[in-house]
């Protein structure tokens, strides 16, 4: 008799716990991301998309619809200077281009709803000008000059790097290591140290970077980048060039 009572009690408690669990479960009936946000970051000097790379800058978004101090959300740049997020919650946002090789700008407060597009203009720290290249044998020689749209308060210019890859996606996040970095992880002799604040001598200098050891029969993509000593140490870039190497 006692065994039967115990069985009934256990069954009752199990059913009660199951019902309690169901009563505590809430159905997530909030709508999912229903908007998209895309646009361009324009170089104020050239009037064209800023030369950058994947993640070369970040578009910082803060949704102000529910909070005065929201957690930032970031959209990384694409190599062509554009940005895009196709799944974002519609709302009222503070938007700021940041973490790139350009002078800081003010944020913009705007509504993002449906398919929203916005263009931002920034002033790059540096422009790479008179960029030329010559490929001969297994070597690539790139020459260039540097100009500064603004010089007052410009961060110290650290160095110039070559970047070489086997796809058009080439920069500090996508490159073939031996052509830029030594085995120990340090810049090798292909980089050019500048380590100086801006002066007329920098603007008058033609810099040269020589990359050796390109393999015959391959096609490479290359560019140079110059970085400055700000909080992010990102690169201002040249155009990407195509470098076919003849078969021996």
Residue 106 placed within a domain = yes
Q: Are residues 69 and 158 in the same domain?
A: no
Q: Structurally, how many domains does the chain consist of?
A: 2
Lowest-pLDDT range of 13-27, 87-101, 192-206: 13-27
Q: Binning pLDDT at 50, 70 and 90, where does residue 248 land? A: confident
As a whole number of angstroms, the distance between CA 166 and CA 159 comes to: 24
Residue 171 placed within a domain = yes
pLDDT of 7 higher than 70: no
Residue 49 placed within a domain = yes
Residue 23 placed within a domain = no
Domain that holds residue 207: 127-244
Domain boundary among 70, 97, 122: 122
Q: Are residues 105 and 162 in the same domain?
A: no
**Per-residue pLDDT tens for 151-189?**
999 999 999 999 999 999 999 999 998 888 654 555 456
Residue 20 placed within a domain = no
Query: 138 with 120: CB under 8 angstroms?
Result: no
Domain boundary among 122, 148, 172: 122
pLDDT (0 to 100) of residue 13 = 45
Residue 140 placed within a domain = yes
As a whole number of angstroms, the distance between CA 143 and CA 129 comes to: 9
Domain boundary among 70, 87, 122: 122
pLDDT of 29 higher than 80: no
78 vs 33 pLDDT, higher one: 78
For the CA atoms of 83, 87, 89, 90, the dihedral, rounded to the nearest 10 degrees, stands at 70
Q: Binning pLDDT at 50, 70 and 90, where does residue 203 land? A: very high
C-alpha pair distances (Å), 81 with each of 29, 52, 54, 198? 37, 6, 9, 26
DSSP string, 82-147: EEEEEEE--EEEEEEEESSSB-----EEEEE-SEEEEEEEE-BS-EEEEEEEEEETTEEEEEEEEE
**Per-residue pLDDT tens for 54-89?**
999 999 999 998 888 899 999 999 999 999 999 999
Percentage of the chain lying above the pLDDT 90 cut: 75
Residue 141 placed within a domain = yes
Query: 243 with 133: CB under 8 angstroms?
Result: yes
Residue 154 placed within a domain = yes
Q: Are residues 76 and 142 in the same domain?
A: no
**190: CATH:** 2.60.40.2060
pLDDT of 39 higher than 90: yes
């Amino acid at each position: 008799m006692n065994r039967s009572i115990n069985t009934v009690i256990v069954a009752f408690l199990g059913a009660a716990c199951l019902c309690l669990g169901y009563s505590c479960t809430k159905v997530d009936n909030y709508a999912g991301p229903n908007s998209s946000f895309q646009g361009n970051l324009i170089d104020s000097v050239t009037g064209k998309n800023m030369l950058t790379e994947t993640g070369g800058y970040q578009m910082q978004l803060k949704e102000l619809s529910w909070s005065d101090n929201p957690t930032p959300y970031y959209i990384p740049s694409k190599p062509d200077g554009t940005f895009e997020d196709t799944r974002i919650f519609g709302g009222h946002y503070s938007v700021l281009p940041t973490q790139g090789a350009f002078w800081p700008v003010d944020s913009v407060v705007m509504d993002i709803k449906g398919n929203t597009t916005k263009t931002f203009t920034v002033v790059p720290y540096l422009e790479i000008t008179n960029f030329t290249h010559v490929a001969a044998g297994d070597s690539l020689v790139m020459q260039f000059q540097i100009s500064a749209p603004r010089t007052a308060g410009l961060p110290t210019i650290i160095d110039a790097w070559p970047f070489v890859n086997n796809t058009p996606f080439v920069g500090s996040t996508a490159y073939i290591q031996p052509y830029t970095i030594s085995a120990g992880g340090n810049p090798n002799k292909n980089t050019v140290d500048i380590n100086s604040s801006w002066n007329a001598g920098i603007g008058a200098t033609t810099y040269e970077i020589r990359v050796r050891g390109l393999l015959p029969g391959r096609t490479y993509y290359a560019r140079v980048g110059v970085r400055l000593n700000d909080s992010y140490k990102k690169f201002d870039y040249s155009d990407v060039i195509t470098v076919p190497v003849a078969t021996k």
